[in-house]
């Protein structure tokens, strides 16, 4: 299938699909005329990539953990790389939460100074 059809079936924009390809997350074959040719399994693959990215994982981390996904079974089994990537992402989120809480406290103290 061509990129437009993959976009419709996966509900992921063509622009994002090209971005995933540039990031090494997709490797479509090319037709003689140069068009990208995607497989049926790529539909679930791009949905998974989008879901993981929306959950806060970087594309670099996703590229490392994609081998955990067994596309023939449409199953995602947590492997060591996935767990490590998830742990790193959780640590970063905790750091961001702490910074936001500090910012919030500073703003509240500024409001209470009057």
Q: 3 and 38 in contact (C-beta within 8 Å)?
A: yes
- The token duo for 84 is 């490590």
Average pLDDT over residues 87-104: 92
Written as six digits, the tokens of 50 are 């989008």
Tell me, yes or no, if the pTM score tops 0.75: no
What does the block give as tokens for 27?
């490797």
CATH fold of the domain at 3-112: Multidrug-efflux Transporter Regulator; Chain: A; Domain 2 (1.10.1660)
- The residue extents of the domains of the chain are 3-112
Q: Which residue has the higher pLDDT, 12 or 85?
A: 12
Please give the C-alpha separations between residue 49 and each of 10, 12, 30, 75, in angstroms, as whole numbers. 11, 10, 21, 13
pLDDT of residue 75: 60
pLDDT tens digits along 35-73:
999 999 899 899 989 998 998 888 988 888 887 766 555
Query: pLDDT band at 5, cuts 50/70/90?
Result: very high
Residue 76 has pLDDT above 70, yes or no: no
């Amino acid at each position: 299938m061509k990129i437009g059809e993959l976009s419709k079936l996966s509900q992921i924009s063509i622009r994002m699909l090209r971005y995933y390809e540039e990031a090494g997350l997709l490797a479509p074959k090319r037709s003689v005329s140069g068009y990208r040719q995607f497989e049926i399994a790529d539909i679930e693959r791009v949905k998974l990539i989008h879901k993981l990215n929306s959950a806060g994982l970087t594309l670099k981390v996703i590229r490392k953990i994609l081998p955990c996904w067994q596309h023939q079974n449409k199953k995602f089994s947590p492997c060591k790389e996935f767990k490590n990537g998830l742990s790193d992402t959780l640590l970063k989120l905790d750091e961001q939460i702490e910074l936001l809480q500090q910012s919030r406290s500073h703003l509240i103290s500024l409001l209470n100074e009057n």
